[in-house]
Amino acid sequence: MNWDYESPRKAYGETLVELGRERDDIVVMDADLSTSTKTAMFGAEFPERFFNVGLQEQNMMGIAAGLARSGKTVFASSFAVFATGRAYDQVRQSIAYPRLNVKIVATHGGITVGEDGASHQMIEDIGLMSGLPNMRVIVPVDSNEVRSVIRFVASEEGPFYVRLTRTALPNLTDGDFKFGKGAVMRDGLDMTIIATGIEVGYSLKAAELLKEKGIDVQVVNISTIKPIDKDIIVKSAQDTGLIMTVEDHNIYNGLGSRVAEVLSENYPVRMLRHGMRDIFGRSGRWDTLLSHYEMDEKGIAKVAENFYKGVKS
């Protein structure tokens, strides 16, 4: 496992450029944040296929839908709070409902936006996008997977939502993304932590801390939130009998809710959802915030240990 850190946004921008060289149907759009989302890399090489619409996220989604109608494969990017929150109606009516070939790739998801504060820390986007019929939702675990995911969504017809973080992530995979499939990142017998995105790396580190306390933890990565991998969730429940989910998102309508739905319908076991507990974030360094909300390795280990001991006592 490689713990070298790399920017998923940069991986996104680089992959767009590669796709642009290979295919002339690729079109990229942004809403005045192209330097931050890294779509500017595509714009620098293919200015005739890059459209920066300014602070008009709703309009961007409408134009993206029109370009898709005319045969283009469209990538539309902004911060998660704007791409899903401000433009929700346009995404719903103009992209998801007609099932158009638009790939919404949002950066700066979750509380790791940091100093920008609660107004920009989007913790509802997975729920919003998962609730839309026809929309498929992916949260890549690292930059290697980002490259594979972007190529995958470009090759598939119809709408996707891909959520990226602001911060660099450790490269935990070889980038062999399998749509709709989770992956066991660490074996364990006592309990399972199911995590997504940035929280996978922290969960792996938390598992090492828990090992020192005699708790053997399995860690599962779920990159595809919708459609979710029911089989791996049920098997993990059968193997360990105890499930904890971890996400940089509200515990309502996110990964935890999806896992709870699967377990309640197929193999009910005790579980705990961990993440933002129905509260907005606050301004601060991203790593300080993860620590404050017990979403770094020490916090996850503490919550998991208390959960385990509470069930086993």
Which sequence positions are flagged as catalytic?
A: 57
Residue labelled with tokens 């973080």: 165
Residue 277 burial class via C-beta count within 10 angstroms: exposed 0-12, middle 13-18, buried 19 and up: exposed
Rounded to whole angstroms, what are the CA distances from 91 to 87, 88, 97, 123, 206?
6, 5, 8, 18, 37
Angle at 244 between CA 241 and CA 250, to 5 degrees: 150
CA pair distance 310, 50, nearest whole angstrom: 54
Count of CA atoms in the C-beta half-sphere (13 A) of 214: 1
Q: Check residue 177 and report its DSSP letter.
A: -
**Backbone dihedral angles phi then psi of residue 227, each to the nearest 5 degrees:** -80, 135
| Helices marked H in 156-296 | 198-211, 230-240, 255-266, 286-292
- How far apart are the two ends of the chain, measured CA to CA in Å? 34
SS3 of 262, please? helix
Q: Which residues of 64-93 are buried (b: 16+ CB within 10 A; e: fewer)?
A: bbebbeeebbbbbbbbbbbbbbbbbebbbe
